Homo-oligomer: A and B are copies of this chain.
Amino acid sequence: MDLRQLRYFLAVAEEGQVTGAAKRLNMEQPPLSRQMKLLEEELGVTLFDRSGKRLALTNAGMLLQRRAEQLLRQFQETIEEVHGLDEGILGALSIGCVVSCFSLLPQRIERFHEQYPDITFKIHEGDHFLLGEQLEKRNLELVVARLPFEAAADPERYSILRLPSDPFVALLPDSWSQAADSRKLGMAELAQYPLLSLKSNLTTGMHNRMMEAFREAGQEPHVLCECSSITVILSLVAAGIGATILPKSVIASLPLPGIAMRELALTPFYSEVGLIWIKDRYLSKIARNFIEMFGE
């Protein structure tokens, strides 16, 4: 049994005759008669009562009529739904994000949601390597992370949309600095404080950039603690344990009390953020739309 046959059957059932149905279907009567016979044979069921030139539906025929209408409607809906999904009207977008970039998402998600209200988001947090792995497994389509993307063994494999860069700032406990103190902080001064750095077995980018900045200023800082997570660092700063250097946007998403921000004297010292996906792999229309909007 075939969808075509169901469509034919419905036409015949509605017209009450083969000839009229054939006209409606833009075909001749004999093939349609044959299809009806084949359908009956395949189902092993008598669908029409052929007494005289008119065809009346049997019980089985009436049931099939109802069911066929239902099936064809659902079929049509499926096509439209699948189509809509590919066009990026429906569906879900899975995005991975590094904690330090969270602040970039909310307003963009809101804007996207206004334009595509039926899209839902799935947001995963993790470090570069975790996110890279999920990207490979197709659990994520896009990743927002600091550049360079450390999971990128082969940079050619990824496409990256670079975002406006973000200055590094110093973060230190409130108690160490007057709130009114708006002077830029020199690296020498900062090097006097115990420092906290973002570093784990795998993710060393931020740590390296910080150390580099100190080295350029001729300073040898004292790293009190290497932390694997930004939230840990910020808690420690708020608790008065140490100071650190982080991209300015970080504190927008995690505004803990007890932390003072000071601009750095060192210029230019910027962090770059990128929207990352795997090149030459299928990207949903949703994701493509999101990328387009993300850059604006």
Contacts and interface: CB of A to CB of B under 8 A. Distances in A.
A170 B1 CA distance: 61
B71 A85 contact: no
Interface string A60-78: 1001100110110011001
Nearest to A88: B59
A288 B75 CA distance: 36
Nearest to A287: B59
Contact of A71 (B75, B83, B280, B284): B75
Contacts of A284: 58-60
Given A44-B86, A82-B43, A280-B51, A59 B91 contact: yes
Contacts of A86: 43-46, 58-60
Size category of the binding interface on chain A:
35 or more
In the complex, the count of this chain's copies comes to 2
Given A43-B83, A45-B86, A46-B282, A92 B59 contact: yes
A59 B85 contact: yes
A183 B157 CA distance: 110
Nearest to A278: B51
A232 interface: no
A85 B63 contact: yes
Contacts of A79: 1, 43
B67 A138 contact: no
Contacts of A43: 79, 82-83, 86
A258 B276 CA distance: 96
A286 B4 CA distance: 29
A155 to B, nearest CB: 17
Nearest to A286: B59
B282 A49 contact: yes
Interface in A70-125: 70-71, 74-75, 78-79, 81-83, 85-86, 91-92
A290 to B, nearest CB: 13
User: Which of A46, A138, A282 has the largest count of B CB atoms less than 10 A from its CB?
Assistant: A282
A70 to B, nearest CB: 8
Interface in A31-60: 43-46, 48-51, 56, 58-60
11 contacts: A43-B79, A43-B83, A45-B85, A45-B86, A48-B282, A49-B138, A50-B282, A59-B92, A60-B86, A67-B81, A67-B82
Interface of A: 1-4, 43-46, 48-51, 56, 58-60, 63-64, 67-68, 70-71, 74-75, 78-79, 81-83, 85-86, 91-92, 138, 280-282, 284, 286
Given A43-B79, A46-B282, 18 more contacts: A43-B82, A43-B83, A44-B86, A45-B83, A46-B86, A51-B280, A58-B86, A59-B85, A59-B86, A60-B82, A63-B82, A63-B91, A64-B78, A71-B71, A71-B74, A71-B75, A71-B78, A74-B74
